[in-house]
Amino acid sequence: MCGILGIVTADGSPLRGKALGRAIGDLLRLSESRGMESSGIAVGDGHTVRVLRSQQAAALLVESSPYREIMGHVERAAGGLSIIGHSRMATNGTPADNHNNQPLFSDVLVGVHNGIITNDQDLWRRHGTPGRTALVDSEALFWSLEKLQAEHGSIPLAAASLYSDLEGMASIAVLFPGADQLLLATNNGSLYVCHDEELRAVVFASESIFLRRLLSGGTFTRHAPVRQLKAGDGCVVQGGTARAEYFRLETTGPGGLPAGRAPRAARPVAIVDCSSYPSVAPGTHEVGGARRGPERRILDVEYEPERGLRRCTRCILPETMPFIAFDADGVCSFCRSHRPVTVKGTDALEALVRPHRGNGDRPDCLVAISGGRDSSYTLHYVTKVLGMHQVAFTYDWGMMTDEGRRNVSRMCAGTGTEHILVSADIPRKRAYIRANVLAWLRHPHLGTVPLFMAGDKQFYRISYVLRRQFGVKLMFYGEHALEKTSFKVGYAGARLTRLGTMAYSIPTPDRLRMLLFYGREYLLNTAYLNHSLWDTLDAFVSFYVLPHDYLKLYDYVRWDEPTVVGTLRREYHWESSRDSGSSWRIDDGTASFYNYIYFTVGGFSEHDTFLCNLVREGRMTRDQALEESVIWNKPRAESLLWYGDTIGVDMQHAVRTINRIPKLKGMSGAGARARAG
């Protein structure tokens, strides 16, 4: 879930001095799109490896005095150099503690890692040492590799053994300075290498576009070949000569590789930490600007599963649903107008995707993945059933949960899928959310709750950018009609009239009505006129204006929860959230908060609308839906606390404010009595 990069130059390479320094700076800036929460670099000259880790984004790192000092060594170097870098999106371990930032190093190796290892505790027990200094999962990977290299006496054999043990996505670059070798390896294909013969240099990065932009800058040979390390590929680059020798991780055997037959005798090399940024104590968390420890806290949550609301006699929708009406038999208008969901079938799907197969080295399609059950199964189906050559992409806007990120790692590793991560400026995005949550708490209204989720809608626009970048026309999403949550726009006065469609399908008059509603709310509550305004406008355009011309798998394949979740858990060890009774929305860190608001004030949440669709489709009885509603709507205290800590909001205060909002009793129209008195 990060960007890794580097350059190895041979002795006598023409690539040196300021040109080499500029190339490294360009690679760091390009890789920043994969993570902005910390960054780092390591430079080895055969005698010393200088390591610099920063609690800042890469663009700030390259402007810092310690970085300029290290670049001075690069520009003055007379011989070959081995340089690796990292641009981090933080997963395990806060970036406020430099022990968690990369490159990680020991007396033997210096490494950077992209991905998440989901069995890092097992690796520690099997290979680790008692001297663990960080919370980041990458530490278990590198220390295991160090031990395996000592056992095998061969870097490729050690890498093959390591990858046979680990679970999760791992693309790595590891310097073994004593042997003057660089190891590159990946189990999902998110690693690209360019061997510039004229410059006698090897350059690598997490995405091909980074290398192609670098080559177009004039420093490198413009038409030097860019090669993907595919899932299960490894490479050892020899320092001094910049010779690259490739191998397959699963076929590596004793004496089977030139790089492994006669490893160079290790020589003493000093590894010096040049980091000048202060670190907090290992194991301390800093989130949302406030330090906290591992203590458990109690929230004063309310939970009233049945408060006497009138409900539809066919489904379980209550009278507080916007635009609801009941007939003489007590059946709601949503049940009366429901049209059964029909799928187009696998034959139609095969006919649609067939023309897109066979693009050579280019992917056939892109697959959006968030780590939730629907998108995870979509990646599984596209890979294992349709047999497509796909690339997965994720837009992380700061509210992806740890479960979601780990599931992305599992799925991409398990399917051997290259993963494109587009990371927002996460601290800034979280500041936007915080500003809007605090504004909402001043004057709560159910119609403005979607402002908390506006920041993720740019992934629709990003998908178009990636389609152009990869030159593909086919894009898969995991949306399906059973998850329609029309009440979110309904509280803002907009009505969904096209049945079985998503919120972006509201008619133009209702879009205008919704814009007028938000304009009025912004004037009534000027706290919404904050620095998030342009980001929210961009989200509106991305969601409501751009065409949604992607392929939705569940338009062709019937969505079936036991099949979906059972397959994911059985084949990929996919995980749900431990504080949720449902496997839905476990990838979305905002869901626990907004569902608590909707259920506490309105008496129902998006879980209920989903259950109602299952009842209408004949997949569940009304009594079963009522039972599931009780379980699924239980407040998720652990997730609520995470949300508050992450955006820097006092969740106890937020929950108490929500609890004081007058409860809705009925809806005669959109938004009726949806505001606190």
Examine residue 568 and state whether it is found in any structural domain, yes or no: yes
Q: What mean pLDDT is reported for the chain?
A: 89
Question: Which of 35-44, 187-196, 497-506, 587-596 shows the lowest per-residue confidence on average (mean pLDDT)?
Answer: 497-506
The DSSP-derived string for 463-479 is HHHHHHHHT--EEEE--
- Give the domain-ending residue among 231, 263, 295: 263
Question: Is 143 within the bounds of a domain?
Answer: yes
One domain, residues 9 and 119: yes
Q: Do both 225 and 329 map to the same domain?
A: no
pLDDT of 670: 46
Give pLDDT tens digits for 45-83: 989 999 999 999 999 999 999 999 999 999 999 899 999
pLDDT confidence of 358, banded at 50, 70, 90? confident
Euclidean distance between CA atoms 559 and 609, whole angstroms: 16
Query: Higher pLDDT residue, 580 or 611?
Result: 611
Contacts of 351 (CB under 8 A, 6+ apart): none
C-beta of residue 633 within 8 angstroms of C-beta of residue 272:
no
Q: How many Å apart are CA 586 and CA 574, to the nearest integer?
A: 11
Cα distance from N-terminal residue to C-terminal residue, the chain = 45
In a domain, 282, yes or no: no
Encode 120-170 in three state secondary structure: HHHHHHHHCCCCCCCCCCHHHHHHHHHHHHHHHCCHHHHHHHHHHHCCECC
Residues 93 and 159 in one domain: yes
Could you say which of 204, 237, 263 is where a domain stops?
A: 263
Shared domain check, 374 and 253? no
Per the domain annotation, does 576 fall within a domain? yes
Other CB atoms within a 10 A radius of the CB of residue 607 amount to 24
Specify whether 193 is located in the same domain as 339.
no
User: Are 243 and 333 found together in one domain?
Assistant: no
Does 368 share its domain with 494?
yes
Mean pLDDT, rounded, for 502-506: 66
Residue 284 lies inside a defined structural domain of this protein: no
Would the CA dihedral through 291, 295, 301, 303 be positive or negative? positive
How long is the chain?
677
* pTM, rounded to two decimals: 0.91
> Are 175 and 111 in contact, with CB atoms under 8 Å apart?
yes
pLDDT of residue 502: 60
Which helix (H) or strand (E) segment is 334 a member of?
helix 333-336
Q: Is the per-residue pLDDT at 494 higher than 90?
A: no
pLDDT tens per residue, range 360-381: 788 999 999 999 999 999 999 9
State yes or no: cis peptide before 103, omega within 30 of 0.
yes
The whole-number pLDDT of residue 669 equals 47
Residue 57 belongs to some domain of the structure? yes
Q: Which range has the worst mean pLDDT, 8-17, 140-149, 571-580, 668-677?
A: 668-677
User: According to the model, what pLDDT value does residue 129 have?
Assistant: 64
229 and 131: one domain?
yes
Give, for 53, the enclosing helix (H) or strand (E): strand 48-54
Domain-embedded: residue 292: no
Span 116-155, pLDDT tens digits: 999 998 998 888 665 677 888 999 999 999 999 998 889 9
Residue 293 has pLDDT above 90, yes or no: no
What's the confidence (pLDDT) of residue 292?
39
pLDDT for 290 beyond 50: no
Per-residue pLDDT at 550 exceeds 50: yes
Number of domains in the chain: 2
What range does the domain containing 648 cover? 311-660
DSSP class of 87: E
CA distance 582 to 576: 8
Q: Is the domain of 203 the same as that of 332? A: no
Task: Write the Ramachandran bin of 168: left for phi over 0, alpha for psi from -120 to 50, otherwise beta.
Answer: left
Q: Indicate whether 342 and 255 sit together in one domain.
A: no
Q: Indicate the burial class of 618 (C-beta count within 10 angstroms; 0-12, 13-18, 19 or more).
A: exposed
Same domain, yes or no, for 253 and 319? no
Three-state secondary structure readout of 349-381: HHHHHHHHCCCCCCCCEEEECCCCHHHHHHHHH
Position 295 scores a pLDDT of 46
Q: Render pLDDT for 616-666 as a digit per residue (tens, 0 to 9).
A: 999 999 999 999 999 999 999 999 999 999 999 999 999 999 999 999 987
Considering the domain architecture, whether residues 317 and 254 belong to the same structural domain is answered as no
- Summarize the confidence of residues 499-515 as an average pLDDT: 72
pLDDT at 459 > cutoff 50: yes
* Residue at which a domain ends, from 207, 238, 263: 263
| 294 is a domain residue | no
| Cα separation values, 121 from 23, 89, 136, 146, 346, Å | 37, 21, 11, 16, 41
pLDDT-derived band of residue 291, with 50, 70 and 90 as boundaries?
very low
CA 7 to chain centre: 27
Phi, psi of 192 (to 5 degrees): -125, 145
User: What CATH number does the domain containing 252 carry?
Assistant: 3.60.20.10
Instruction: Please report which helix (H) or strand (E) contains residue 413, including its range.
Output: helix 402-415
User: What's the rounded mean pLDDT across residues 200-225?
Assistant: 92
Tokens of 305: 């599963």
Position 279 pLDDT exceeds 80: no
Picking from 432, 403, 396, 425, the residue whose alpha carbon sits closest to that of residue 648 is: 432
- Residue 99: pLDDT band (50, 70, 90) is confident
